[in-house]
Amino acid sequence: MTDEFPSTTEDAAARSDSEDTMSNPTKCVLLACGSFNPVTNMHLRMFEIARDALHRTQKFSVVKGIISPVSDGYGKKDLLPASHRCEMLKLALKSSNWINMDTWECEQSKWTETAKVLKYHQSKVDRESNMRSKPAPTKKRRKDLRNVQINSNDNDYDDMSVDDHNAINAALKKDSVSVRLLCGADLLESFGTPGLWADKDIEEIVGKYGLVCITREGSDPRKFIYESDVLSKYQENIIIVTEWIFNDISSTKIRRALRRGESVKYLLQDVVIDYIRANHLYGVEDNKYINDIIPSPVAENAVSDVQWPNSEGPSSEYEEVPRSPKRINEDPFDGPPSPKSPRHVPCMGPDLGSLVRRVRNVRIIAYAPETCV
Ligand SMILES: Nc1ncnc2c1ncn2[C@@H]1O[C@H](COP(=O)(O)OP(=O)(O)OP(=O)(O)O)[C@@H](O)[C@H]1O
Ligand SMILES: NC(=O)c1ccc[n+]([C@@H]2O[C@H](COP(=O)(O)O)[C@@H](O)[C@H]2O)c1
């Protein structure tokens, strides 16, 4: 049986606080900025982990997730054109019913600071929620807004009772949706890299918008916040989510594995692997795991239909993507590109012979009905 009553005074205080927020949780949008080069399963997991954690507090209701890939102007080493990164994101996000990609940032010819990206999305969300709430205000909302209008006269503000303040806040909160930056602990810790982030941007990000940060192997975000004056000042606005199911996938490791001809299955969505294979990205020509497998049934969708206003868009399935000479051997820890695998079977066109050989190797196994669960 569950205990319906608070057992201590702190519990009671916590309960009354959460009762208030429970009935009126702050709506929020999670915005993740990054390279997504390529999008990994962990990028997607990050949203699920954050949403669970925010809902557990009962103070927030996550209304949507947005992924904003950085523009080509960011100029990071090995950064593929936004057209490809967006195609992969679009395919990967087919598995989510609440995370969307927004291409505004990557359509900019120059790199945009993250504080500006947050500002853009907050205004967009404000516009959307205004539009939604205007046409048909409910009876209750009309009453709330009336109260706000009556009570929010500047002259009266200081004379208002606590109840009035609460009523206004509740009414405003109900309609407002706040955009928060979702990131891994490495991004938070990059705030400490000299010259990388402007102080005013850091203050704006944590002070005005807020941050949800997922722990990552090798980082200690709590210590980092403690050591930073500005982050400590706004720590109420920073939610650290400890991810206990360690999963240190990173796009860098994925690119390295692909270059080295190693398998990346179960680290990326199959549709993303299909897209990488079809477009010869990240030096997969020599990747036996990718090139020898029969594309997944969704492979036909791997060439997608995003409209590209500012770019030529991705190559067709058979077209070779021009590869930057910098891509090979830039990592001092990487050896030379792996030699062509003897098993290398280019899976780009229908190879009937190899298909027949593979079909011959398929063993048909009859399962007893009770094993077919
Ligand atoms: N395994 C992970 N755990 C927690 N956060 C992650 C993880 N992988 C990526 N992120 C976060 O996802 C966001 C976007 O990631 P981005 O593509 O820039 O990083 P990345 O995967 O580390 O890429 P790269 O290795 O190319 O730097 C960042 O906030 C980053 O911290
Ligand atoms: N000053 C800034 O606003 C600033 C600095 C460095 C990185 N970022 C952002 O952080 C994200 C992740 O960058 P990396 O892929 O380099 O880790 C990108 O979206 C990038 O735009 C912003």
φ, ψ for residue 171, nearest 5 deg: -65, -45
Co-location of 216 and 285 in the same domain: no
Whether 42 is in the pocket of ligand 1, judged by its Cβ within 6 Å, is yes
In a domain, residue 61? The reply is: yes
Domain boundary (243, 259, 280) is at: 243
Q: Which domain holds residue 105?
A: 20-130+167-243
Atom of ligand 1 nearest to the CA of 250: 21
Are residues 224 and 192 in contact, defined by beta-carbon separation less than 8 angstroms?
yes
Q: Which ligand approaches the C-alpha of residue 40 most closely? A: 1
Q: Which ligand approaches the C-alpha of residue 44 most closely? A: 1
In a domain, residue 342? The reply is: no
> Over 90: is that where the pLDDT of 322 sits?
no
Residue 165 has a pLDDT of 52
Going by alpha carbons, the residue nearest to atom 31 of ligand 1 is 184
Co-location of 217 and 270 in the same domain: no
β-bridge partners, 60 = 26
Atom of ligand 2 nearest to the CA of 37: 15
Cα-to-centroid distance, 241 and ligand 2 (Å)? 20
In a domain, residue 372? The reply is: no
Are residues 65 and 48 in contact, defined by beta-carbon separation less than 8 angstroms?
no
Q: Which residue has the higher pLDDT, 370 or 205?
A: 205
Contacts of 239 (CB under 8 A, 6+ apart): 50, 53, 54, 57, 180, 210, 211, 212, 213
> Over 80: is that where the pLDDT of 200 sits?
yes
Co-location of 239 and 261 in the same domain: no
In a domain, residue 364? The reply is: no
pTM passes above 0.80? no
Co-location of 90 and 56 in the same domain: yes
DSSP 97: S
Co-location of 195 and 295 in the same domain: no
Domain boundary (305, 331, 347) is at: 305
Q: What is the CATH number of the domain that holds 224?
A: 3.40.50.620
Whether 90 is in the pocket of ligand 1, judged by its Cβ within 6 Å, is no
In a domain, residue 79? The reply is: yes
Largest CA distance in the chain: 85
**Distance of alpha carbon 27 from alpha carbon 178, whole angstroms:** 6
Positive/negative CA dihedral, 266, 268, 271, 274: negative
Residue 117 has a pLDDT of 98
Atom of ligand 2 nearest to the CA of 112: 21
φ, ψ for residue 284, nearest 5 deg: -80, 0
**Distance of alpha carbon 211 from alpha carbon 32, whole angstroms:** 10
- For residues 111-125, give the mean pLDDT: 98
> Over 70: is that where the pLDDT of 36 sits?
yes
Atom of ligand 2 nearest to the CA of 190: 6
Q: Which residue has the higher pLDDT, 372 or 106?
A: 106
Cα radius of gyration (the chain) = 25
> Over 50: is that where the pLDDT of 15 sits?
no
Whether 170 is in the pocket of ligand 1, judged by its Cβ within 6 Å, is no
**Distance of alpha carbon 322 from alpha carbon 300, whole angstroms:** 23
Residue 147 has a pLDDT of 56
> Over 80: is that where the pLDDT of 321 sits?
no
In a domain, residue 366? The reply is: no
- For residues 293-315, give the mean pLDDT: 48
> Over 90: is that where the pLDDT of 102 sits?
yes
Residue 46 has a pLDDT of 97
Beta strands 177-184 and 238-241: pairing type? unpaired
The string of pLDDT tens digits covering residues 44-77 is: 999 999 999 999 999 999 999 999 999 999 999 9
